[in-house]
Structure 1
Amino acid sequence: MLDDKKDDIFLSRWISGELSEEELREFKSHPEYEYYVKIMAGADALDLKDYDVEEELHTLKSKRNSTTNKNSGLVIKLWPYTAVAASIAIILGLFLFNSNDSFSSDYGEQLAVTLPDGSEMILNAKSTANFDSDSWNENRTVTLKGEAYFKVKKGSKFTVSTKNGEVSVLGTQFNVQSQNNFFEVACYEGKVSVSNLKNEEILTAGKGYRNLNNSNPEQWTFESNEPSWLTNTSSFRSTPIKYVFDELEEQYNLDINTKNINLKTIYTGTFPNNNKEVALKTVFSTLGMEYSVSQDGKTVVLEK
């Protein structure tokens, strides 16, 4: 076991490329070796001419003296630096090597994201969105899978791209839901253009658009100022229960066994996103269906 002074010398020799083959093999066998490599790679990528990597590693090691005891084992004792090195690696990965920003929400979660121009995006449960921050000023495009509410700052064309169609605006507030073959857009302020392979529509505030299974699209009017899910209520208007069940699964991390159930049955109503028991009772009592929940609370079995 080497003392701290010798450890510093060892690190210095590694940075300078002066380790023997045997010493280098021993160093590479340590589980924290990869983090030091990432620190060095990050420093090179940043091209910080005045940044002394050797001195910073020495500083990190000095801080260890007041909080840890010496451990026996490998030559270099790097455990105290795991969190620091991992954080540096994450930062480098996000800001140096990947300009494509991706955001995902979990079951029952809403995720608010401020876009590069100050526009706002709020993801509903189990939704994913990504965009290229490097080219944002020239191309304000968000690729969406799931559901999100947007408050767009005025400026160049802003596009939400989904597998079911695109929504384009200059500055407005609107909601987009795109899952499987379900595509729905509601405009709450301003004006939006909705297009897919077959149709192109212009929606003004208080108008909604829906296309199911690439069939004939439908439009309707509404009076609300924002989508109900922002206040933890899922709402449905003449919607096949397949999509209602999908929403229940995404809000509560459930698996609904729908064997022998007609998933084309139409549902109009709401359910809360913060109380599973009430949500299940609300939906299935409205549909006139009996159901049971597994002991772990994860599976719902429906009875005709």
Structure 2
Amino acid sequence: MKRETLISKWLDNNLNDQELEAFKNLEDYDDLVKLNNNVQAFKADNYDTTKELENVLSKIKSKKAQSSHWIKPFMRVAALLAICFSLYYYTTTLDTTIKTEYAQKTTVELPDESTVSLNAKSLLVFNKKDWKKERDVELNGEAFFKVAKGSSFNVITKLGTVKVYGTQFNVKQRDNYFEVICYEGLVGVSYNSQETKLKPGDSFLIIDGKTIAKEKENRSTPSWLNNESTFKSMPYKTVIAEFERQYNVDITLLGIDSTQLFTGSFAHDNLDVALKSITLPLHVTYSKTNNTITLKRE
């Protein structure tokens, strides 16, 4: 559900349980609550308009009339209008922030009907007010984009920027990991002041500052959209980090080289099966204690 709709329903006290949780996950949730409380404090008292007008006219006729008596009601209304305007301006100009937690995915519709699917533990930021002038989004995590045709569209990450005009692509930015895969159209990836053009099936991958060559991508969409993480000759630490995000667990490695390469996959809907998928190929055993998993070389 769009951020503005959530805020509107919240102001009307019309959120169901699921919508309330989504509203609480908004990055500016605390600010919105505080602002609303301040608005409530400035609400004008109920009063009889006709009676108030008669009092005002009576005071005007009096030689000793005090202007403050008839100004007060109007000042209360003006204060309320000012606060309401501030609330409207605040909610329409503030950046929209969408984030996912561990083991959570979501899909967001942008103002131009482009869509973004966010993988677990990811964050997306954009400004709806400036959207017609700049189709810019900030990403921290992983997301699959379906971009509507129009002006240039920029995905800005800490490690690089992806620029497109109308296409489908996946961006993953995690710590020292930066990957872009083009599935449709043409994608430009800017990294260290150099731009690389990607056609469908092409990939751009940087791990720990090094460019990694990858085989041609033959899927039409990333595997994580179908609740599966797939790896081809990836450092084992990358696999472990993704596993922790999808299952909200902490993994400890004992006697295992985290830089060794791993090829395989794991599903997102069965912890035990997924653990076997990432341990059996490397002859690794595992043990579980609550939310902590220990992997050990046999």
- Structure-2-length-normalised TM-score: 0.71
- 2:296 corresponds to which residue? 303
SS at match of 1:220: coil
Shift of 1:94: 9.3
User: What is the identity, as a one-letter code, of the residue corresponding to 2:140?
Assistant: K
Q: What is the rounded CA distance, in whole Å, between the counterparts of 2:139 and 2:240 in structure 1?
A: 21
- 1:144 corresponds to which residue? 139
Cα RMSD for the two superposed structures? 2.7
Q: 1:198 to 1:218 in 2, by over 3 A?
A: farther
- 1:46 corresponds to which residue? none
Residue among 129, 147, 155 paired with 2:150: 155
* Residues 220-256 of structure 1: per-residue CA shift (max 9 Å, x gap): 3122110111010111111101110000000000100
Shift of 1:288: 1.3
- Structure-1-length-normalised TM-score: 0.69
- 1:180 corresponds to which residue? 175
Q: 1:192 to 1:97 in 2, by over 3 A?
A: closer
Matched, 1:38 2:33: no
Residue among 124, 132, 154 paired with 2:127: 132
Q: 1:286 to 1:95 in 2, by over 3 A?
A: farther
Q: What is the rounded CA distance, in whole Å, between the counterparts of 1:94 and 1:290 in structure 2?
A: 56
- 1:203 corresponds to which residue? 198
- 1:292 corresponds to which residue? 287
- 2:217 corresponds to which residue? 222
- 1:15 corresponds to which residue? none
Q: Quick one: percent identity of the two aligned structures?
A: 38
Matches within 5 A, 1:75-90: none
Matched, 1:269 2:264: yes
Shift of 1:98: 4.9
SS at match of 1:258: strand
Q: What is the rounded CA distance, in whole Å, between the counterparts of 1:159 and 1:302 in structure 2?
A: 40
Are 1:209 and 1:220, in contact at CA under 8 Å, matched by a contact in 2?
Answer: no
SS at match of 2:40: helix
Report the count of equivalent residues: 229
Shift of 1:107: 1.1
Residue among 97, 102, 106 paired with 1:102: 97
- 1:239 corresponds to which residue? 234
Q: What is the rounded CA distance, in whole Å, between the counterparts of 2:193 and 2:36 in structure 1?
A: 51
Q: 1:94 to 1:251 in 2, by over 3 A?
A: farther
Shift of 1:136: 1.2
Q: 1:266 to 1:93 in 2, by over 3 A?
A: farther
Shift of 1:218: 2.2
Q: What is the rounded CA distance, in whole Å, between the counterparts of 1:227 and 1:143 in structure 2?
A: 20
* Residues 246-267 of structure 1: per-residue CA shift (max 9 Å, x gap): 0000000010012443110101
Q: What is the rounded CA distance, in whole Å, between the counterparts of 2:203 and 2:176 in structure 1?
A: 17
User: What is the identity, as a one-letter code, of the residue corresponding to 2:40?
Assistant: I
Shift of 1:163: 1.1
Shift of 1:271: 0.4
- 2:249 corresponds to which residue? 254
Are 2:103 and 2:121, in contact at CA under 8 Å, matched by a contact in 1?
Answer: yes
User: What is the identity, as a one-letter code, of the residue corresponding to 1:262?
Assistant: D
Shift of 1:38: 2.5
SS at match of 2:211: coil
Q: What is the rounded CA distance, in whole Å, between the counterparts of 1:101 and 1:233 in structure 2?
A: 28
User: What is the identity, as a one-letter code, of the residue corresponding to 2:247?
Assistant: Y
- 2:7 corresponds to which residue? none
Shift of 1:143: 0.7
